[in-house]
Structure 1
């Protein structure tokens, strides 16, 4: 039964990647998607947002939470889960494919770009409701770029989304527990 489930997951993953390659691949996206994915490299876009928040006194605490969430999602996704699952990336699976970016050397599941993007987008959406669609759209585009560039399977992206959301929720829960214990925390999370 376990092998049957894995087989179905592989069929789904390969079908989606094949469909993206067949129906979405074009010269314009070939230029755009490496740029979009670069925004997620080491969380650079989210670090930039955190720096902007940290430099703006009323938003410093939110900047701190963004950095903390990015750190937690990286440890969980890149540091722990990837090394437990050890899934080979689609571009390293014996298929001869021309990559538009450098070949990643880490494991595939979960997508670190996706988990960090959805973790931080979740935090930012809590504080800046009016921009929620923008934050989630950026996270989604970064995740989609990983599929388009053939460096992740769809289930890597789904896992990254789940881990990212769980990391952002966990950070809020931990900060609430700390603030309830009368430990000095300069903010209250709602």
Structure 2
């Protein structure tokens, strides 16, 4: 590992402990678990189906675009997880007790952050008045994963970038079709 990589890893770990340290209030794990569950995936599909059913102008397009973009994001996310194979903080440090059981072994990128940013970006494109609440929820979902002890800050940043890029690529591909 180069000196730059070591320095970045040290900053990431320090940021992790700063975030995880703020989670010492007894109520924080419960709140973080609830917020994290918003990003488990099923809610995105339910909202997409509901929008398609209730919004006649662009609802079907929103749903189909979402399915297309998630079909781009998910395989890239899985590939990166297996390529990078970064241990989760709860698996690396003895003093970190995870507040949930992670869905897989590796931490980079955060799938919850990626999916949350895909959905927030799609909502912002189709329904701009929802931009601020959508990105606020996406950030909270991403941060909850750090508070729960299963991701580093760079994991959620990488997930957010993956979600944003997947959405931009997907929207541009749809325009070409």
Both proteins in one fold, TM over 0.5: yes
User: In the TM superposition, what whole-angstrom CA distance separates every residue of 1:108-146 from its partner, at most 9, and x where no partner exists?
Assistant: 110000011101211110111111001101111100001
State TM-score, norm by structure 2. 0.92
For the Cα contact (< 8 Å) 1:147–1:153, is it kept in 2?
yes
Paired residues in the alignment total 175
The offset of 1:51, in angstroms, is 1.4
The structural deviation recorded for 1:96 is: 4.2
1:104 & 1:94 partners in 2: Cα distance?
Answer: 19
Q: Which structure would you say has the larger RCO, counting Cα contacts within 8 Å and 6 or more residues apart? A: 2
RMSD of aligned alpha carbons: 1.5
Distance 2:62 2:103 in 1: 31
CA contact (8 A) 1:66 1:124 kept: no
Q: 1:24 to 1:91 in 2, by over 3 A?
A: closer
Aligned to 1:31: 30
What does the per-residue CA deviation read over 1:68-103, in whole Å, with 9 as the maximum and x for residues that have no partner? Answer: 2222211111x2111111111111114243322114
| TM-score, normalised by the number of residues in structure 1 | 0.86
- Separation in 2, partners of 1:32, 1:88: 24
2:70 alignment counterpart: 70
State the distance in 2 between where 1:122 and 1:22 align: 30
**Secondary structure at 1:55 match in 2:** helix
What's 1:48 paired with?
Answer: 46
> Which of the pair has more CA radius of gyration?
1
5+ residue gaps, structure 2 = none
